[in-house]
């Protein structure tokens, strides 16, 4: 198979879809890999690194999209990239379609087969291609939240860990999954007073068993969420419904009840955000203020630590990438229900139910799409 890896063009996105190690593996399996010049520079990989691994270097993204049978990326294709997709071509990347009707419409019109990292599953009920970036984003969230709270940025001027004689900041983490767990661990490690809330009693029991004493937890009723939010200096939104739009857990009207200068870090922004006032921002311009509350809503947070993120993502995607290339997408998905769960679009059909629900579009069962 001809595999193409273009340079990411989303603002301040420094990750790359394939590492040189992944290229070497793919070439070793008999595939040809085409990498756009400069694609890996943001993650510390040169064209020479890719050539040494067996890749060919392409001068442009257009060359990649024209030649590749499968395009491997990190972020959702931007409008210029979507126009280059074609029927029969496989796109393997993060998509986050539920809050993005324009992208969904373009992918359906392209006729391409689009497999989303974020909806591939595993035997434990997890999301193995989303988890590495959730871990990175979770660990980054307290770090960027602490920066947002600095007075020079408009925040409360509160040090997350406090100092002797001064209480630490109060941090509320909404969601006890992968993002929330890593965020709570790091925030607690920085000395903050941390509470995690979730609606899963089983998850709360797990957190209590594993992290007892490091941070508190509570059941995420609407009343409890608001009560804890009123006390918090920093609120980290870490709620995920696989493939679906994130629920809005703090309304604009409720912002008036929060501490002036409090910070909201919305890690769910790729899925539309879990605060009503959230809108995507960039690393270049990450913060905005609504009703005196600071919002940090960077849609590609792991891109800030591109080398770590690229390596972590590459480790997770490689087995699936090789299966798609070795077997072809139809056989690979037919033999692996977890990979089939990643199929979001095929031949003009939407194949992921949660996206159809979010956007009001008809959905074809992914197993039926294999016959198209």
d(C-alpha 305, C-alpha 283), whole Å: 11
d(C-alpha 7, C-alpha 80), whole Å: 13
Nearest to 274 by CA among 173, 366, 160, 362: 173
Is residue 141 a contact partner of residue 268, using CB atoms and an 8 Å limit?
no
Q: Is 96 designated active site? A: yes
Continuous segment of H or E residues that includes residue 327: helix 306-327
Count the neighbouring beta carbons within 10 Å of the beta carbon of residue 167: 9
Place of tokens 């159809």: 356
Which of the following is catalytic: 106, 193, 198, 270? 270
d(C-alpha 157, C-alpha 234), whole Å: 11
Which residues are CB-contacts of 190 (< 8 A; sequence separation ≥ 6)?
142, 146, 160, 161
Which of the following is catalytic: 31, 96, 182, 295? 96
Is residue 243 a contact partner of residue 355, using CB atoms and an 8 Å limit?
yes
Q: Is 346 designated active site? A: no
Could you tell me the CA-to-CA distances from 329 to 25, 46, 88, 108, 337 in Å, in that order? Answer: 18, 29, 10, 17, 12
d(C-alpha 192, C-alpha 171), whole Å: 7
- Give the DSSP per-residue string, 337-363: HHHHTTEEEETTEE--HHHHHHHT---
At 86, list the tokens. 């074609």
d(C-alpha 21, C-alpha 109), whole Å: 34
Within 13 Å, how many C-alpha atoms sit on residue 256's CB side?
2
Positions marked catalytic: 96, 270
């Amino acid at each position: 198979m001809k595999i193409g890896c273009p340079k990411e063009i989303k603002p301040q996105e420094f990750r790359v879809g394939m590492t040189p190690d992944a290229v070497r593996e793919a070439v070793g399996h008999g595939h040809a890999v085409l990498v756009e010049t400069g694609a890996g520079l943001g993650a510390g990989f040169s064209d020479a690194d890719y050539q040494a691994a067996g890749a060919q270097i392409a001068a442009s993204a257009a060359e990649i999209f024209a030649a590749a049978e499968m395009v491997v990326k990190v972020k959702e294709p931007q409008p210029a990239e979507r126009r280059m997709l074609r029927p029969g071509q496989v796109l393997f990347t993060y998509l986050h379609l539920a809050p993005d009707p324009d992208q969904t419409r373009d992918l359906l019109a392209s006729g391409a087969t689009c497999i989303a990292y974020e909806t591939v599953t595993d035997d434990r009920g997890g999301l193995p291609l989303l988890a590495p970036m959730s871990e990175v984003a979770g660990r980054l969230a307290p770090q960027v939240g602490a920066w947002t709270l600095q007075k020079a940025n408009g925040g409360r001027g509160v040090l997350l860990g406090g100092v002797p004689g001064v209480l630490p900041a109060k941090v509320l983490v909404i969601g006890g999954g992968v993002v929330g767990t890593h965020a709570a661990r790091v925030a607690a490690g920085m000395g903050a007073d941390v509470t995690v809330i979730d609606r899963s009693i089983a998850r709360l029991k797990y957190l209590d068993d594993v992290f007892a004493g490091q941070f508190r937890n509570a059941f995420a009723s609407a009343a409890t969420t608001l009560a804890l939010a009123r006390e918090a200096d920093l609120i980290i939104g870490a709620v995920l419904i696989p493939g679906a739009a994130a629920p809005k857990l703090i309304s604009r009207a409720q912002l008036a009840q929060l501490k002036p200068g409090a910070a909201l870090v919305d890690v769910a922004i790729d899925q539309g955000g879990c605060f009503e006032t959230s809108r995507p921002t960039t690393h270049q311009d990450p913060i905005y203020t609504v009703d005196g509350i600071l919002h940090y809503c960077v849609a590609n947070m792991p891109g800030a630590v591109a080398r770590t993120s690229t390596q972590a993502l590459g480790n997770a995607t490689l087995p699936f990438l090789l299966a798609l290339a070795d077997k072809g997408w139809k056989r690979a998905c037919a033999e692996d229900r977890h990979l089939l769960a990643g199929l979001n679009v095929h031949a003009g059909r939407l194949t992921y139910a949660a996206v159809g629900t979010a956007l009001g579009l008809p959905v074809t069962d992914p197993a039926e799409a294999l016959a198209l």
